[in-house]
Amino acid sequence: MNGNAIYHVYLGNEKHYDFGSVAAIYDRLTPEQLGVSLSRLWSFGIAPGRPYKNKRCTIYRGVIQR
């Protein structure tokens, strides 16, 4: 996506965060909070239309419109 990706992280129904990369998510949130490790997210391959979901979080990838 050449720097145009945005990752939307939803923790339950209460909190929403936006990040510029999968790695940046772990600068703010822990694997315990998310219920998933960084390596697992990389191997899953979050893509537009293919979000990662578990009982603690949902992570979507989108495109920043510039």
Q: How many angstroms separate the CA atoms of 61 and 52, rounded? A: 9
Please list the ranges in the chain whose pLDDT falls under 70: 1-2
- Dihedral sign of CA atoms 19, 22, 27, 32 in order: positive
Q: How far apart are CA 54 and CA 29, in angstroms?
A: 15
Beta strand 57-63 with 15-19 is: unpaired
- The answer to whether 5 and 62 are in contact (CB under 8 A) is yes
Q: What is the structure's pLDDT at 66?
A: 78
**Do residues 56 and 8 touch, judged by C-beta distance below 8 A?**
no
